[in-house]
Chains A and B, each alone.
Chain A
């Protein structure tokens, strides 16, 4: 037997590898299609999306186009809502309409960034822990256990006192223990996916850990991650408002919904609009995020699949 050299022509590339893998993913697109279909049948969740879109648009547009700046003092103090000042003015004669939307920027920023930081740390921590397993997993999860045991708000308050009040300290304080929940969820997802054939296959084909995390694990855990995130944002906005009331909010003349509402709460008897407008938008937004989060969870829940 002589070894015949393989004829290269016998093997032809029949189709681009990358494109093929995308084509394979088509099945999961149909999963998402189904999810979005179910989501779109949920009126409450759709309402939530609608509210969020409006709030975000207003927050982006109003402070740019308004004739007033959020810190401008008009000289008309504590004026009730009117054609000139749609939501009235505050104790320094600032237009509450502009301040509500400027405040929306800060509140949403704090909420979204805190949730994103949670997401990043949580995904990295959770997937490493889940993928590597063994002693590393054990240590990482024990660290998380201890950290969860630390009462959240106690730490946040102490932290905010150490760092001086501001947007960035607020975000840091909010995400310092917030990521643990995310890490747990990701780890759980990773553990359940880890030993499935396609992941094993990818591994045997020499895919490195990061590739695995980004290409395979994250997309599969996406549903759970998305739900957790949409529910983390309102939690952060809520906590920000709470901390503002304790005097740990963003410094003046900046305003967040939290600081506006806590100032307004003190003026409820004489100038109710100063509480009403920020309060309404905090509540609407928190409601909207919750509705969207719940809707997503229901839509993603395989048990409810028909």
Chain B
């Protein structure tokens, strides 16, 4: 009897051991398949192989150029695909797949001349590849969530919304190497868009051969960028390898880029400090708020302007927030500089307008209001309370909504304190998860709600367009203004760059009289770079060009 018992116990132990061995075996097999080959190379030729080690915060939701919507996917796609143009560090479009191009007088027609470039399966990159990809993205059947980037193309919006047809798209391949694009309106930033992930070409053959071609690395994942997707272990890591067939391969220094997926910011910071990764800064994880001071004190922290704004949307359909003066009072009574110094710490710029200082033509303060102008805020509050028929500020209770995150909560708590101390307004905080929060904003089910906006292209239009009408999907404030709308419409048709800028500024001025949003700060890019990494810095849109990065 006793023996039987002991035997059973032993059996359990043995079983678990075998299982454990299996688990590791299995893992190291699948892991080391990629690894062993890679590792042996790195280990043998060791330091001679130039490898850049990065991490991102999550598994990229999609590595399909037309389906991807997020910056993590975008960061990878920008390296494995190449559009007609590629942005330089000042976001000026440079030749990519297109060697040169002509723009018509009226700004409506672009003729691109493609260079002799190859797909990773050996096919030449031709004009049809672009037409195929863009049409694919616009086809409502394919449910691309970012198709609106393609809307400047003539007939694109109508086709995407199911009202037009493919034939009416302003896309034409004159021959294999010549692509003619007709636009709906003159779009001064169109050449920037052609560098964007959604406008990357697709290899029709590869796409049609396997409709799930974009879910794994391998021969089916056909690309044309400076790097190839060498391996993709889901939720674990991505490895890029230099594309020897890339037209500019001679100038690409990196041979390999490994990108781990590390969700926890503090873990990524530790990895950087320990030298396990070479770079930290969005989209390659972020410099955690709590580590900013220590990086600063070691003189490691780099800060550069970013074309993005952090603002509080104010729901103009709300009982209280519909009052312009209340909105003004809240906007003025924020001590932005102190918030930046003590909470966000990234040397962000106090936002005194809707368009960030990183945007060309908006570098100077337009003087709409002063930071932390308590006096004016109190006046506006008094006027607002009178209009609403509320006796005193203490009777107001305002809810700040945000998606759950330590950083947003910290900012909100800081502003909450300020409103309470300076204006006597009570505020409560309302956290919800991202997916829930987005719906809340959309349904106008909030009073004050935080949002960030980072431009996809370097132009003020990106920040102002969403407030043109109340139904614009990104407006989320219920605010619209006929004058603002007409200024925006004029700006679309305007060909003269200076006049266009002026129209946009006038529109911004209206926005900053009525305050559908309370701008808080303009983003900066915070990043730390390993000592041996050269030439790795984000542009104002937060893009990286790893093809230019050098390793010592």
Contacts and interface: CB of A to CB of B under 8 A. Distances in A.
**Touch between chains A and B, by CB atoms below 8 Å:** yes
Interface of A: 71, 73, 75, 77-78, 91-93, 161, 164-165, 247, 251-253, 263, 265-271
Given A269-B266, A269-B294, A73 B288 contact: no
B431 A92 contact: no
Contacts of A263: 406
A253 B413 contact: yes
B433 A270 contact: no
A271 B431 contact: no
Contact of B342 (A71, A77, A253, A268): A77
B251 interface: no
Nearest to B297: A270
Contacts of A271: 290
Given A71-B417, A93-B342, 10 more contacts: A73-B414, A75-B342, A92-B410, A164-B432, A251-B430, A252-B413, A266-B288, A269-B273, A269-B290, A269-B291
Secondary structure call for the B interface: helix
6 contacts: A78-B293, A92-B343, A93-B342, A251-B429, A267-B290, A270-B290
Nearest to B293: A270
A110 to B, nearest CB: 17
Given A75-B342, A164-B432, A266 B266 contact: yes
A165 B273 CA distance: 34
Nearest to B431: A251
Interface of B: 264-266, 269-270, 273, 288-291, 293-294, 342-343, 404, 406, 409-410, 412-414, 416-417, 429-433
Q: Which 10 A-B pairs have the closest CB atoms?
A: A267-B290, A252-B409, A266-B266, A251-B431, A270-B294, A247-B404, A253-B413, A77-B342, A73-B417, A270-B290
B219 to A, nearest CB: 39
Contacts of B291: 269-270
Contacts of A267: 266, 290
A77 B416 CA distance: 17
B433 to A, nearest CB: 7
A87 to B, nearest CB: 17
A120 to B, nearest CB: 30
A92 B414 contact: yes
Nearest to B294: A270
Contacts of A93: 342
Nearest to A270: B294
Contacts of B265: 266
Contacts of B290: 78, 91, 266-267, 269-271
Contacts of B431: 164-165, 251-252
B294 A91 contact: no
Interface centre among A165, A252, A253, A265, by most chain B C-beta atoms within 10 angstroms, is: A252
B450 to A, nearest CB: 13
A269 B269 contact: yes
Nearest to B291: A270
Contacts of A71: 413, 417
User: Which of B290, B293, B342, B433 is packed against the most chain A CB atoms within 10 Å?
Assistant: B290
